[in-house]
Structures are given as C-alpha cells and as structure tokens.
C-alpha cells in the first residue's frame, strides 16, 4: 500500500502476487526434487527385490542331472 494514501494500487497487488508466486515456485521445485529421489530409491528397491526373489525361485526349480560312467 502506498504510504500517502489508503488506496490499493495495481502495482501493490502485482508486487504482492509476485512474492507469493516466487515463494510457491521454490516450494514446488524442492518438493519435485525430493519426489524424484524417493521414486528412484523405490524403483531400485523393487528391482533389487525382483532380482533376489528371481534367483531364489530359479534355484528351487532348477533340475539337477547327475551323469555317472559305468
């Protein structure tokens, strides 16, 4: 608000909204960075678990063939 009058001008509104938008954009960028980190960690965990359980299942289902010479 202008110190000379009690009227709110277009510039006052614009400055207030710019400050609000700048603050919210910083929050969105920080949240996006955090979300990417969490998503990549969960993806890696899912891949590791799939690998471990796949090896375990493969070792249970594998056929063992013994060859003996007479």
CA dihedral for 24, 26, 29, 34, sign (positive or negative):
negative
| 41 half-sphere exposure, CB direction, 13 A CA radius | 6
What is the model's pTM?
0.46
Q: How far apart are CA 38 and CA 26, in angstroms?
A: 19
Domain region containing 14:
9-70
Asked if the structure places residue 1 within a domain, the reply is no
In this predicted structure, the answer to whether residue 54 has a pLDDT above a threshold of 70 is yes
12 Cβ contact partners less than 8 Å away, ≥ 6 residues apart? 1, 2
User: For the segment 2-41, what is each residue's pLDDT rounded down to a tens digit?
Assistant: 556 678 888 888 888 887 777 777 777 777 888 888 999 9
Q: Per-residue pLDDT averaged across 40-58, rounded?
A: 87
In this predicted structure, the answer to whether residue 70 has a pLDDT above a threshold of 80 is no
Asked if the structure places residue 2 within a domain, the reply is no
Asked if the structure places residue 30 within a domain, the reply is yes
Asked if the structure places residue 60 within a domain, the reply is yes
What's the total number of domains in the chain? Answer: 1
Asked if the structure places residue 41 within a domain, the reply is yes
Only one residue has tokens 């090896």, namely 55
Asked if the structure places residue 49 within a domain, the reply is yes
In this prediction, residue 44 carries a pLDDT of 96
């Amino acid at each position: 608000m202008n110190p000379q009058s009690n009227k709110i001008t277009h510039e006052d509104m614009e400055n207030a909204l710019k400050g609000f938008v700048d603050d919210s954009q910083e929050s969105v960028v920080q949240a996006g960075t955090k979300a990417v980190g969490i998503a990549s960690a969960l993806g890696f965990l899912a891949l590791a678990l799939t690998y471990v359980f796949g090896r375990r299942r493969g070792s249970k289902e594998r056929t063992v063939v013994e060859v003996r010479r007479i």
